[in-house]
Structure 1
Amino acid sequence: MSKLPLFVAGVASLIAGVLLPLAFAPYNLWLIAFISPALLYLLLNQRSPAQAFLLGEAYGFGLWAVGGFWLYTSIHEYGDTSAPIALLMIAGVALVMGLFNAIGAWFYRRFLPESPLTFAPLWIVIEWVKTWLFTGFPWLFVGYALISHGLDGYAPVAGVFAVSAVVVLIGCAFAELLRRRWFWLVPIIILIAVGIGLNQIRWTKPKASPVLSVSLIQGNIPQDLKWLTEYREKTLQIYAHLSKSEWGRDLIVWPESAIPMFQNEPEAAPFIEEMHEIALAHHSAWVMGIPYLDLSNQTSTSTIDPPFYNAIGGLGDHGSGLYKKQRLVPFGEYIPFAGTLDWILPSLSKTGSFTAGPAGQAPLHVKGHALAAAICYEVAYPNLTRLNAQDSDFLVTLSNDAWFGTSAGPLQHLQMVQMRSKETGRWFIRATNTGVSAFINDQGEIVKRTPQFKTAVLRGNLPAMTGETPYMRWGDLPILLISALLMLIGLWAKLRYQR
């Protein structure tokens, strides 16, 4: 492959990137997770740094143009953007996100020797950077494809990045076998055996306390109606009706923004009080998603609008707490650089934005249990979920994936929730507007789920978990240190060889 003309290699790299999304849900062709990075590894062989940059960009563009195409639904159908402009915007996102692979490929060929032991660690650093640079867009990590496929045993030890590292390393090691470098069979066998062995360990265990009976309410409110003022009452009626048969269970959970208005608005306040009283009368706790207007510092003479949050609230019998979303969606929940961009887009100054919640928020509490909360795509951030999950019995996430229609986005999102359960050794309670609502056990397995785009109620009896996985304690630090060490050794070896 190193002798292919650059144009041909570029096309091959583009195809390799296009293939990787097929490894994830809903396609689940997980073997492609090994093949796709290995193809890029081979294509970069003996390339100049400049050529590697182009090949990396081609790979990243293909990956994001296909893997992130679910954005088209929200941009075109719900963002009222024409199809050509929406496609151009998707292409722009793919070009920008492709820079991660482009810069990584350039760095690889400029500073590191060609080896799976340098390529795989660099891949992990690139994935990790995607979780925080420019607020982060942590999607399409290779390790997600291996949830429930053996090698996810590394997840509770060192997180999804460790799974990605092992998958990429094994894939590149198989590529080396094509060059008759048979010694790479040894690390392949060891990595697979260790992954399977780790899956036999249960890092957490159920508490002795009784199981928690939970009902998830999936209202299936159409996205084009959800925020219409005239549809508010209908929305509240749907959730109240679906919950009638569920009061009496320990916990009733409504999805993100199930109450589509601030808590103090005339329609909302009496409704919330009514549901709270019903929950108290039936000895049920109630958790719901709601936009929360913080009036704590407001006075009659205040001239500054109070901050508002995308929030989860706990009420009812032994239900309490308020969680404010920490990671907001750029241009969806807030406008980045709004003040800076006013001179270009003056309308931005008139656009209200959610406020990000503070770090270190206390968990919700229901029936004597601590529920670590996450809203929507916050679960895509491994370290954020890990930090929120400290000292928790369960994890709960509320979402509204109706924005992405029938695309792969909602099912990719669900796959990430599975990985967070595996990493933390906790059951995840996932309530969504249009699906998939689900109960996911401490091993990342979907125990029960709803169909998409159906009004549904999902019931389950869940055990509270106790104990701590290594990932809960150490986070991403071990795999990042190992990756940095391998790259430093590679850099030293290359410099010494060049002398």
Structure 2
Amino acid sequence: MISTLPVRGWRLAGLMVLAGAFSALSLPPVCALFVLPLGLLVLYRASEDAASWKQAALCGFLFGMGFHTAGLYWLTNAILTRIHQFWWVIPFAAPGVALIIAPLMAVPAVLCRLVPAGWRRILMFAGSWTVVDMARVLIFSGFPWNPLGSDLELPGSIGNALIQPASILGVDGLTLALVLASLALFRGRVAVLSVLVCSVLWLGGGYWRLTTVTPLPISNPRAVLVQGNVSENEIINRQQSVENFRRYLRLTAQGTQKARLMGDDRPVVVIWPESGFPGLLDEDELARQVIAHAAGGASAMIGSDREENGHWYNSLELVDQDGKITSIYDKSRLVPFGEYQPWIIPFNVLPGVLTPGPGLKTWDLPDIGRVGPMVCYEIIFSGSVVARHDRPDWLVTISNDAWFGNSAGPRQHLATGRLRAVEEGLPVVFANNTGISAIYDAVGRETVRLGWGRADVIVSDIPSPLSPTIFSRYGRAIPLSLSILCVLLSFWPTVRRKRERVVMRQKG
């Protein structure tokens, strides 16, 4: 392992920011996994070399600023949709969010100094990193975006195999394993060999699971995913609302006709994304009748705003073949600084705020089966996407990533759905206004995709679910317990040596 870093002062500060930004290249969609060990090594060595715990904390904070600013650069695109109003926020969009969560990376940088160098320090660093990373769900409404475990979501079959342990460990367990492996690579030949052996076993176990799991004998409906590709400016200004509504109707009719021609008696469900309907669907009976006609007798899940008793909701509404709303799901996890304003900002910057819904639910209806509905942001919360004690047979999330342009943002968002499928053993349907729309089976394999910036429709059967996974039963308690165990193990040898010294003194 490198003994010390050759820079100090402002050069060290710059190096920490660059190391953090460099490490962000390991995230989807780039997935340059090889850069992560190098970036973490720089932070780890800087923490060891720091003259005080305050300096170590500063190194961790600066690394976090670089990592999250680079990983969330696409947040600036959301400001550009209202640049005339919020132009002054542009320099602070990504760095502002990073400023809130970067201090968490100072924690492992400080705590690892409490134990002797070597394996104990690596265990402390990895365990405390994972614990504080999991704590991001406690910041405002939660912001667990871009956990390091998502780095394993490489494209294709290799990525599918690498993420299979998430069915036991969850994405946070993958984070723990990655941090441990990354730092172990610099512990000598034996450690490198151990990492390589474990990697082969990890990958082999993933391929074994992909080839041996058996779906439950449950027939989910056939999905018609409608991607209208309406820009955010058009949604905000509503200048072409009628034309956009007609586009969605036309694509719906095309999709349902194609679904019927596929044969068999499998029920069909039409899914429009978040912001799919340019109005208040529950107050527009004529629009519902037109949607029901275009759906040709199929049920339709429509994203729409909703107002009730002075409160506004971001909702997913189910319209039956008669144009009646039979079920409503109100988004319960709101986006901080996007859908509500956190208390830390003393002045109003949002044009309006939303009210959170009561929480996750499962719809159980003859035409669509047992489905867990979600809206956009909610899919990113590992272990919190299924209603407790009411497991569905498939998950659907509607989104409008037009805010973030053709950037890493929509692709990182989609990657969260892939991991939720593996964790829960449930197929995930991802319907997005401007893309990317996709369907994942219950082991995270992509079965169909509609790329960014296309107005089109996907028609595909929704795969069957698996039996509940270990993670779906015990949730984040598993990675949290493993992380805490790593922290405790980092102290154990030290405690044993102190006892030996006491014994030796007593004998002397």
Fold similarity call, TM over 0.5: yes
Selected match of 2:149 from 121, 143, 151: 143
Work out the CA distance in 2 between the residues paired with 1:24 and 1:389: 33
CA contact under 8 A between 2:107 and 2:129: conserved in structure 1? no
Structure 1 residues 120, 236: CA separation in 2 closer, same or farther (over 3 Å shift)?
same
Question: How far does the alpha carbon of each residue in 1:55-105 deviate from its partner, in whole angstroms, 9 at most, with x for none?
Answer: 111210111121111111112333545666411343232233211112331
Work out the CA distance in 2 between the residues paired with 1:110 and 1:277: 67
Question: How far does the alpha carbon of each residue in 1:439-464 deviate from its partner, in whole angstroms, 9 at most, with x for none?
Answer: 11222122211121111111212232
Residue 373 of structure 1 aligns with which residue?
373
Matched, 1:313 2:321: no
Matched, 1:215 2:233: no
Selected match of 1:51 from 49, 52, 55: 55
Residue 275 of structure 2 aligns with which residue?
257
CA contact under 8 A between 2:424 and 2:472: conserved in structure 1? yes
CA contact under 8 A between 2:332 and 2:360: conserved in structure 1? no
| TM-aligned CA deviation for residue 420 of structure 1 | 0.9
**Matches of residues 144-159 of structure 1 in structure 2 within 5 Å?**
144-147=150-153, 148-149=158-159, 150-159=161-170
CA contact under 8 A between 1:372 and 1:388: conserved in structure 2? no
Report the residue type matching 2:302 in the other structure. Answer: M
Residue 215 of structure 2 aligns with which residue?
206
Structure 1 residues 423, 112: CA separation in 2 closer, same or farther (over 3 Å shift)?
farther
**Greater Cα offset, 430-439 or 7-16:** 7-16
Work out the CA distance in 1 between the residues paired with 2:207 and 2:148: 19
Work out the CA distance in 2 between the residues paired with 1:417 and 1:88: 28
Report the residue type matching 1:449 in the other structure. Answer: R
Selected match of 1:329 from 329, 335, 339: 335
| TM-aligned CA deviation for residue 112 of structure 1 | 7.4
| TM-aligned CA deviation for residue 289 of structure 1 | 0.7
Matched, 1:271 2:326: no
Residue 23 of structure 1 aligns with which residue?
26
Structure 1 residues 389, 79: CA separation in 2 closer, same or farther (over 3 Å shift)?
farther
**Matches of residues 72-91 of structure 1 in structure 2 within 5 Å?**
72-80=76-84, 85-91=89-95
**Greater Cα offset, 465-474 or 314-323:** 314-323
**Greater Cα offset, 416-425 or 355-364:** 355-364
Where in structure 2 are there 5+ consecutive unaligned residues?
A: 260-267, 502-508
Work out the CA distance in 2 between the residues paired with 1:85 and 1:314: 37
Residue 204 of structure 2 aligns with which residue?
196
CA contact under 8 A between 2:149 and 2:171: conserved in structure 1? yes
* Matched residue SS, 1:190: helix
* Matched residue SS, 1:464: coil
CA contact under 8 A between 1:311 and 1:324: conserved in structure 2? yes
Residue 263 of structure 2 aligns with which residue?
none
Structure 1 residues 351, 224: CA separation in 2 closer, same or farther (over 3 Å shift)?
closer
Matched, 1:126 2:132: yes
Work out the CA distance in 1 between the residues paired with 2:218 and 2:93: 51
Report the residue type matching 1:271 in the other structure. Answer: A
Work out the CA distance in 2 between the residues paired with 1:126 and 1:285: 43
Work out the CA distance in 2 between the residues paired with 1:260 and 1:32: 43
**Greater Cα offset, 454-463 or 190-199:** 190-199
Structure 1 residues 88, 234: CA separation in 2 closer, same or farther (over 3 Å shift)?
same
Work out the CA distance in 1 between the residues paired with 2:437 and 2:233: 20
CA contact under 8 A between 1:400 and 1:434: conserved in structure 2? yes
Selected match of 2:193 from 185, 188, 191: 185
Work out the CA distance in 1 between the residues paired with 2:442 and 2:43: 34
Residue 505 of structure 2 aligns with which residue?
none
Matched, 1:167 2:185: no
| TM-aligned CA deviation for residue 123 of structure 1 | 1.5
Matched, 1:427 2:427: yes
* Matched residue SS, 1:458: strand
Question: How far does the alpha carbon of each residue in 1:339-375 deviate from its partner, in whole angstroms, 9 at most, with x for none?
Answer: x96xx42x57x95421111124233646251111221
Residue 394 of structure 1 aligns with which residue?
394
Work out the CA distance in 2 between the residues paired with 1:186 and 1:59: 28
Structure 1 residues 388, 86: CA separation in 2 closer, same or farther (over 3 Å shift)?
farther
**Greater Cα offset, 6-15 or 425-434:** 6-15
Work out the CA distance in 2 between the residues paired with 1:461 and 1:256: 21
Work out the CA distance in 2 between the residues paired with 1:458 and 1:320: 24
CA contact under 8 A between 2:218 and 2:464: conserved in structure 1? yes
CA contact under 8 A between 1:52 and 1:105: conserved in structure 2? yes
Report the residue type matching 1:4 in the other structure. Answer: P
| Percent of aligned pairs with the same amino acid | 26
| TM-aligned CA deviation for residue 45 of structure 1 | 2.5
Selected match of 1:63 from 49, 64, 67: 67
Structure 1 residues 164, 91: CA separation in 2 closer, same or farther (over 3 Å shift)?
same
| TM-aligned CA deviation for residue 392 of structure 1 | 1.2
CA contact under 8 A between 1:113 and 1:494: conserved in structure 2? no
RMSD: 2.7
Residue 299 of structure 1 aligns with which residue?
none
| TM-aligned CA deviation for residue 38 of structure 1 | 3.4
**Greater Cα offset, 135-144 or 378-387:** 378-387
Residue 40 of structure 1 aligns with which residue?
43
Residue 450 of structure 2 aligns with which residue?
450
Residue 297 of structure 2 aligns with which residue?
283
* Matched residue SS, 1:411: helix
Question: How far does the alpha carbon of each residue in 1:133-152 deviate from its partner, in whole angstroms, 9 at most, with x for none?
Answer: 22221112111110253431
| TM-aligned CA deviation for residue 211 of structure 1 | 5.4
Structure 1 residues 145, 86: CA separation in 2 closer, same or farther (over 3 Å shift)?
same
Question: How far does the alpha carbon of each residue in 1:276-335 deviate from its partner, in whole angstroms, 9 at most, with x for none?
Answer: 3554xx3312111111223xxxxxxxxxx4322111112225994321111101222122
* Matched residue SS, 2:226: strand
Structure 1 residues 372, 76: CA separation in 2 closer, same or farther (over 3 Å shift)?
same
Where in structure 1 are there 5+ consecutive unaligned residues?
A: 295-304
Aligned length: 476
**Greater Cα offset, 202-211 or 470-479:** 202-211
